[in-house]
Amino acid sequence: MTSSQEPRAKSQQPRPFLLRVRVCSSFIATCLLNLAALRSLRWLAWLVPASSQKALCNPGMNCHGCPWAVGACPIGVMACGSAVHTLPVYAISFVLVLSAVLGRLTCAFLCPFGLLQDLLYKIPFFRIKLPRWTRYGKYLALALLVFILPYWLGFEQSGYLKVNKPVLNKAVAVDGDESDAAGKLDVTIAVENLGPKPVVRPQVDLVYLSAGKEELFRTRKEYSDVTVAPGDTVTLPKIRIPDRLSEGVLSASSPQSEVEQSSPYNLYYCRLCPVGTLEATLPAFASGTSGGMYAWASGRSMRIGILAAFLLLMVMVSRPFCRTFCPAGAIYALCSRVALSRMNLDKNACIHCGACNRVCPVDLDVPSEVGGPECIACGDCRKVCPKGGIKRTFGL
């Protein structure tokens, strides 16, 4: 071997797995996307405002139902938008811009669930290969579970009460009993049912709050003989309360103003997604919280079964979730041909040695598929090419 060849040979020595660039970048991305974990550490809690509402989207698959997450899952936003028949312009635009700039490089370098798959595949176990047709599963999941079924089935909603502004009047004595009316108000409230189902036994909460938001008085009234039909507005019987308007502001609300939404048949992507089950359902169950749409009781057998199947596959197959069931990967794949960042092969330099195929984490025929929709642009093939025929390019 000549001296000019020695540096080339040394540069091809594989780095330890945990020191590879994409593993390190995925780990950093995972930490940044789950910064809410710092809220448990008082001296770092200031880094993550408690009022954070996850207004930004995640670049990779990281469930916004996770108690640590600081970003929203674009797939979850799209599925919810489909269910309520609105176009989630922000989420779609975010993913398309990311796709146009980075392509599927996001899958290899920024996805927390991709990092989990890489780590589990390092466990010594027997290996299997997935049939090529399974790669189309992610496109089916994107079309069917993110857009078509949510749009078609919609959400099942409980009744939703809109509580109008209360009308206040000085209490009037009944049967000449002035003591009962002294220093009190008669409050009249109208409620409107905006939901698709009747609201039985409507409830109203009346609360006095001081200027400093201190609760001075609270009472709840339940109207056991009242039912509010969908679309109806009903004026409820008067409620008599102490007159404390000089001390605070009176507000009226109802616990039945909280919309409970559920997806019929649990067929939306978020209901089946193993990322949501791992990062939201299981933590909610462990902490004793309801978990909202990720609740333990909601299709738990199916969800746990899907998660268990993928975790087992991750030990036997490299990145099975990315290849078969990830709708974010499907979007990035569809945009990969126009992405600014992509992998390219100099076919004149290729000697068909097979080294690139042996290291490809998604089992591609690299000479014919590098830089295509299924290529996650990880760069592993570039590192082992003896002729340096595979390069990463950035530009139009």
CA distances from 299 to 155, 275, 303 (A): 16, 15, 6
Beta-strand ranges (E) seen in 269-364 are: 341-345
Tokens for 300, please give them: 């738990």
Tens-place pLDDT, residues 310-331: 999 999 999 999 999 999 999 9
With helix as H, strand as E and coil as C, how does 108-165 read?
Answer: HHCCHHHHHHHHHHCCCCCCCCCCHHHHHHHHHHHHHHHHHHHHHHCCEECCCEEECC
At 116, give phi and psi (nearest 5°).
-60, -40
| CA 44 – CA 37 distance, rounded (Å) | 10
| CA 298 – CA 270 distance, rounded (Å) | 11
> At 12, is the pLDDT very low, low, confident or very high (cuts 50, 70, 90)?
low
CATH number corresponding to 343-396: 3.30.70
**Spatial CA neighbour of 249 closest among 205, 219, 204, 214:** 214
CA distances from 261 to 145, 155, 278, 374 (A): 17, 6, 21, 35
Residues in the chain, total: 396
Partners of residue 199 on adjacent β-strands: 228
> At 300, is the pLDDT very low, low, confident or very high (cuts 50, 70, 90)?
confident
| CA 150 – CA 264 distance, rounded (Å) | 9
Pairing state between β 199-200 and 227-228: antiparallel
Partners of residue 227 on adjacent β-strands: 200
Gap between the terminal Cα atoms of the chain: 39
Tens-place pLDDT, residues 331-387: 999 998 889 988 999 999 999 999 999 999 999 999 999 999 999 999 999 999 999
**Spatial CA neighbour of 280 closest among 121, 119, 77, 73:** 73
For residues 191, 192, 197, 200, the Cα torsion angle rounded to the nearest 10 degrees is: 10
Q: What is the DSSP letter of 172?
A: P
Pairing state between β 156-157 and 261-262: antiparallel
Q: Please give the helix or strand (H or E) that residue 218 lies within, else none.
A: strand 215-222
Percent of the chain with pLDDT over 70: 84
Domain boundaries, given as residue ranges, for the chain? 9-154+266-339, 161-259, 343-396
The structural architecture, per CATH, of the domain 161-259 is: Sandwich (2.60)
> Is it the case that residue 7 has pLDDT exceeding 60?
no
Tens-place pLDDT, residues 24-55: 999 999 999 988 877 666 655 555 655 456 77
At 345, give phi and psi (nearest 5°).
-115, 130
With 0-12 / 13-18 / 19 or more C-beta atoms within 10 angstroms meaning exposed / middle / buried, residue 158 is middle
